[in-house]
Amino acid sequence: MNSRAQRMSEALEALSTDDRDRLERLAALAGMRAEEIWPDVWRYGFDDTEESVQATIEADADIAAGRTIPNKKVMADMWRIVNSGQQKKKAG
């Protein structure tokens, strides 16, 4: 019986030249080696993995440009809302 890792390794070796090139381009875009990103491609497919890598790149750009709300602010606002609701519940 083949282990999952063995099947994944065999699938990587069996890639066509075009798919191997696609994997190499995707890995470069993600800043990884092909072997590092292969488990995601094997599990989710090229299209979904490419979409995920692109979304990560866009999110990193948004963070770098200050177009996001810091987690500390989100959590502080959430606790303010929760505590406000608890105070209203106690008063009412």
The residue segments making up the domain with residue 66 are 4-91
* 3-class state of residue 66 by DSSP: coil
Give helix 4-13 / helix 34-44 axis angle, nearest 10°: 110
Residues in the chain: 92
Distance CA 77, CA 74 (A): 5
Q: How many domains does the chain have?
A: 1
- Which DSSP symbol is given to 65? T
Tokens 């709300």 found at: 69
Note the pLDDT tens digit of each residue in 44-81: 999 999 999 999 999 999 999 999 999 999 999 999 99
pLDDT of residue 14: 97
Q: Which residues contact 20 (CB under 8 A, 6 or more apart)?
A: 34
Judge contact between 42 and 15, C-beta under 8 A: no
Q: How confident is the model at residue 22 (pLDDT cuts 50, 70, 90)?
A: very high
Average pLDDT of 25-54? 98
What confidence score (pLDDT) does residue 47 get? 99
